[in-house]
Structure 1
Amino acid sequence: MCPVSADAVTLDLLKEARETVMSSPLGVIKTPMIPWGQTALPPSAAGNVQLKLENMQRTGSFKIRGVANQFARRPRGGCFVTMSAGNYGKSFAYASKHYGSKGKVVMPETAPESRSVLIQRLGVEVERVPTSSLMDVVNRCVQDDDMTFLHSYDDLDLIAGHASLGLEVLEEVPDADVVVVCCGGGGLLAGVAAAIKLSGCHKTRIYGVEPEGACTMHRSFIEKKPMGMNAKSIASGLAPPSAGRLPFELCHRYVERIVLVSDEEIKVAVSTLYRAGLVVEPSGSAAFAALFNNKIPDLEGKKVVCVLSGGNIGKDELANFPD
């Protein structure tokens, strides 16, 4: 079977996926958007910034959008395996329980133990392995246990589901100048960017944000092909072993640039958001960290949207962040 290309991603496809996502029995919601200036956050030097609160989404992150579209297009009661550092795994487990599917999540050893426990409580098996071994274990499950692999970021149905977030952004800020989104494997960034650009917003600048220690998409932009690395970051959800092939194609086509933030900048972002009453995990705070540290250029007088992509962080993890 030929790999799907970026040309297969059309506005009609994304609109259809949005209908599927928002009517899903998994209960995906339209998340709030609030102006930075109407929060208890320190004043922003980044112009007129709107915060898209995907940390308030069902299962605590944007991942349920893509999962809802994936499961709607698979047979009920299937047997699926995936790889995830937590958020996709949580949504995958939630959907598996609803649809009566058997599931297994292969998780990097660097992911918080609390994520494993949460997924297992939803009835899905978890196997923790080194990041470099994730795909080897997934392939073993496919070959030996006859499981179907659902990719956590490099999948057309998933990306189309995530694009519902981009279409939502345009409903609330149709003339956005800049949109800032976190990037791990690239599924969310690709979906949001495709939705915005295919909707005719050609002047909107879209930036992806990655941790310095897990900059697979940044490297892919330099090499002009999907790249892998021994990714390591406090933002474990943004540290897959490689950038996705389809996400890379879409990001290369529609994204302005990939910006890097340090783990220390992510830690400060998590603490800053928490002090303002916003519970956002490290992976979900990356886009905010880039804005907070003035890493996005030419924002004066611009309308900016920043996606806070997830809020799955436990009290034990928060204790490790600065007051």
Structure 2
Amino acid sequence: MLTLDKIYQASHVLRSVIRKTDLIQAPKLCPDCNLFLKTENLQVTGSFKVRGAYYMMSQLTEEEKARGVIACSAGNHAQGVALAAAKNHMKALICLPDGAPISKVEATKSYGAEVCMVKGVYDDAYNKAVELQKEHNYTFVHPFDNENVIAGQGTIGLEILDQMADVDAVIVPIGGGGLISGVAFAIKQLNPNIKVYGVQASGAPSMYESIHNDKITCLDSVSTIADGIAVKEPGPHTFEYVKKYVDDIVTVTDDEISAAILALIEKQKLIAEGAGAASVAAAMFHKVPVEGKKVVCLVSGGNIDVTILSRVIKRGLLMSGRSCMLNIELLDKPGQLKDVSRIIADLGGNVISIHHERANEGSDINGCFLRITMETRDYAHIQEIRSALMEAGFHLVD
């Protein structure tokens, strides 16, 4: 059984292994509330996962340690297990889905673990790990549905209350539910008045569906940029803890997550992966009632692949009105491009690309199309430019 004593014990065991990550104020991310970030993206291995993995492995018998451990992961749990195994001089085999970011795969190898790549998503890697565990008699280190793992993650709840006893609400990303189970249990045991909200990606809402259906629900598929929370099915332990201790669960889209990643980079100088930014997205886009409250968003990890980051930034710019594409139908005569450029420049837009082509069938025979991509301040700025172009007689094609 999970107890508060066990979480305190985990905190003691982890003292020499992890960082007590900072709680930093982030007033620009959500002006409607007093927002703080629990920066587990700056944790050892770049994620909270090392807490649960290390504590669980510290509780193994000598015989279990001698057999070695096996785990499955989208990347962050893999690194936590690999580091814990290295510190305890144990063999570790990690099954990862073949879509895991390269940076996470290479980081796992760098800690000395053996890696087995599995075709599919997290749940496929889990099935392979179970198969290999039976075959070789390894000790299985579950990424979320194990009470020692949950106790290790619950140490974050203790830290938040130690750093800010008067917090009103805590927002936590959910994949399989190990993190929020530990955090919510610790917080509710110490102060049941504090609200704990969970956030899932809309492309992987397994816990959201399970809670709303009042039974564990397995999704047919998951698809999200937040690979760290792309889980088809929660565990029986985490389902029960979430049902009992979490106040509500919401979902955020990939576009909203991308905008949150971009906001964290620009306004807080922090790198977060998709799963880590999901909690911030929930606050930014008012998915939970945070107005006027003192709120902590748990930024669970920062292990984002740089190739994905560039795509996410582009998507985040579009989502936040910082980038815009306009299609303008023109008459093919001298001076048209000059007039369009002047209007955009006068209003402070910055053109970064232009594509010009003759009109298609069905258009004016003297017509042409101009496709412009530009940098803008926000949606109001985009609308200002659109209105000015239309007032000047230009026809915008949506």
Percent of aligned positions that are identical: 35
Post-superposition Cα deviations, 1:33-58, rounded to whole Å, max 9, x if no partner, equal 11112xxxx35233111111111111
Structure 2 length-normalised TM: 0.74
Q: In the alignment, which of 165, 168, 172 is matched to residue 159 of structure 2?
A: 168
Deviates more, 1:52-61 or 1:136-145: 136-145
Within 1, Cα distance between the matches of 2:29 and 2:232? 36
Instruction: Output aligned runs, 1:184-199, within 5 Å.
Output: 184-199=175-190
Post-superposition Cα deviations, 1:82-111, rounded to whole Å, max 9, x if no partner, equal 110011101111111221211111112222
The letter for the 2-side match of 1:304 is V
Aligned-residue offset at 1:300:
2.5
Instruction: Output aligned runs, 1:36-55, within 5 Å.
Output: 36-37=26-27, 42=28, 44-55=30-41
Post-superposition Cα deviations, 1:179-222, rounded to whole Å, max 9, x if no partner, equal 100000000000000000011x1111110000011111101101
What is the DSSP-based 3-state SS (H/G/I as helix, E as strand, rest coil) of the residue aligned with 1:152?
coil
* Larger Rg, first or second structure (1 or 2): 2
Inter-CA distance 43–57: structure 2 relative to 1 (3 Å threshold): closer
Q: In the alignment, which of 97, 109, 117 is matched to residue 128 of structure 1?
A: 117
Check whether the contact 1:46–1:294 (CA below 8 A) recurs between aligned residues.
Answer: no
What is the DSSP-based 3-state SS (H/G/I as helix, E as strand, rest coil) of the residue aligned with 1:34?
strand
Check whether the contact 2:102–2:305 (CA below 8 A) recurs between aligned residues.
Answer: no
Deviates more, 1:210-219 or 1:124-133: 124-133
Within 2, Cα distance between the matches of 1:212 and 1:43? 21
Corresponding residue number in structure 2 for 1:317: 308
Q: Does 1:283 align with 2:283?
A: no
Check whether the contact 1:163–1:194 (CA below 8 A) recurs between aligned residues.
Answer: yes
Corresponding residue number in structure 2 for 1:159: 150
Q: In the alignment, which of 239, 245, 259 is matched to residue 248 of structure 1?
A: 239
Report the aligned-residue RMSD. Answer: 1.5
Q: In the alignment, which of 249, 262, 286 is matched to residue 258 of structure 1?
A: 249
Work out the number of aligned pairs and report it.
Answer: 307
Corresponding residue number in structure 1 for 2:336: none
Instruction: Output aligned runs, 1:268-279, within 5 Å.
Output: 268-276=259-267, 277-279=269-271
Corresponding residue number in structure 1 for 2:20: 30
Check whether the contact 1:210–1:286 (CA below 8 A) recurs between aligned residues.
Answer: yes
Instruction: Output aligned runs, 1:75-94, within 5 Å.
Output: 75=62, 76-94=65-83
Aligned-residue offset at 1:136:
2.5
Aligned-residue offset at 1:141:
0.6
Post-superposition Cα deviations, 1:234-285, rounded to whole Å, max 9, x if no partner, equal 1111012311211111111010111100011111111111123111111110
Q: Does 1:178 align with 2:164?
A: no
Structure 1 length-normalised TM: 0.91
Check whether the contact 1:77–1:99 (CA below 8 A) recurs between aligned residues.
Answer: no
Q: Does 1:114 align with 2:115?
A: no
What is the DSSP-based 3-state SS (H/G/I as helix, E as strand, rest coil) of the residue aligned with 2:203?
helix
Q: Does 1:223 align with 2:213?
A: yes
* Gap runs ≥5 in structure 1: 1-7
Check whether the contact 1:46–1:291 (CA below 8 A) recurs between aligned residues.
Answer: no
Corresponding residue number in structure 2 for 1:145: 136
Post-superposition Cα deviations, 1:110-135, rounded to whole Å, max 9, x if no partner, equal 22123212212222122222125223
Check whether the contact 1:77–1:100 (CA below 8 A) recurs between aligned residues.
Answer: no
Within 2, Cα distance between the matches of 1:77 and 1:286? 38
Within 2, Cα distance between the matches of 1:36 and 1:218? 27
Corresponding residue number in structure 2 for 1:102: 91
Which structure is higher in RCO with an 8 Å CA cutoff and minimum separation 6?
1
Inter-CA distance 17–43: structure 2 relative to 1 (3 Å threshold): closer
Within 1, Cα distance between the matches of 2:256 and 2:96? 25
Deviates more, 1:130-139 or 1:168-177: 130-139
Inter-CA distance 133–314: structure 2 relative to 1 (3 Å threshold): closer
Inter-CA distance 146–43: structure 2 relative to 1 (3 Å threshold): closer
